[in-house]
Amino acid sequence: MIITKTGRRMFPTVRVSFAGCRSEARYAVLLDVVPVDGKRYRYAYHRSSWLVAGKADPPAPARLYPHPDSPFSGDQLRKQVVSFEKVKLTNNEMDKNGQIVLNSMHRYQPRIHLVKVRDGGGPITDLSREQHRTFIFPETVFTAVTAYQNQLITKLKIDSNPFAKGFRDSSRLTDFDRDPMELMLMEQQLLRSPLRLYSGASSTIEEEAEKRAVWARTPPALQLLALGGRAWPSAWPQPLGLPPDLWLQKPPAPVRYCPYPPPAHPSAPRPDHSPSPRHPM
């Protein structure tokens, strides 16, 4: 799940339905997100998997997110699906908008709480004082990140997220709007796989084969950007029919026009003060 300073909507959305509720009772449905363990993770690109990177950062104070339509009657809960599509995730510990605060590169478990509302009761802040049931779905465990670590996940979310319509329907964008979006997607892919192909570390035969496969799926434009001025490896296929030494060439230094000659060193002979041919007097 992506988390940002300003808050990002949680997608996929948590949706639940209930059965067995009393018709005359009133219920509040709340969501919170708790750490799965006390570890911090990192993404291993050559393995396409998450690895433990150390101890977890201190967690932010837990927050309960009440569904905006709460409270519900028992009949309403039996007839409809409760969707938490408006909940937002953030890494801003100073947030005052009721968003759920998480740490990046940590694993979390969403929980659903069904609370029976008391007559004359106020906002629910402590579940231990309420009559409630907690529901946990292990398949909803996720890792909080500030940027997607796998470009396949990036594509999957763009194709499925209703709030990513601007990325899918690029035909409705002007050239001014489309270029930044395409550049954003290119940068996302560039940062996630090609640059890792030349880390300088030793690799096994299996890892080398995986790198070759990833490189073969990378568009030529991203391959050029991934090299960053380094020599094109002879073992990799050439995307363009250009000489290999071209990748080592650097653009010439910009030529600056100055109408007057540069000042001479004090020990140097004084120049002739005849008029410059470019500036006749």
179 pLDDT tier (thresholds 50, 70, 90): very low
Question: Residues 225-245: what's their mean pLDDT?
Answer: 54
Lowest mean pLDDT among 20-29, 212-221, 257-266: 257-266
- Of these ranges, 155-159, 166-170, 179-183, the one predicted with the greatest mean pLDDT is 155-159
Q: pLDDT at position 155, please? A: 79
Is residue 99 within 8 A of residue 89, CB to CB? The reply is: yes
Q: Which amino acid is at 155?
A: K
Instruction: Indicate the residue type of 272.
Output: D
Query: DSSP labels for the chain?
Result: -B-BSS-EE-SSPPEE---S--TT-EEEEEEEEEESSSEEEEEETTTTEEEEEEEPPPPPPP--EE-TT-SEEHHHHHHS-EE-TT-EEE--TT--S-PEE--TTEEEEEEEEEEEPPTT------GGGS-EEEEE-GGG-EEEBSS-S-HHHHHHHHHH-GGGHHHH-GGGS-HHHHHHHHHHHHHHHHHHTGGGGG------HHHHHHHHHHHHHS-HHHHHHHHTTPPPPTTSPPSSS--GGGGG--PPPPPPP-SSPPPPPTTSPPPP-PPPTTS--
Q: Residue 268: pLDDT above 70?
A: no
Average pLDDT, the chain: 75
Please name the residues in contact with 82: beta carbons below 8 A apart, sequence gap of 6 or more. Answer: 15, 16, 17, 18, 29, 67, 69, 72
Task: State pTM to two decimals.
Answer: 0.58
Please give the average per-residue pLDDT across 50-59, as a whole number: 93
Residue type, 49: S
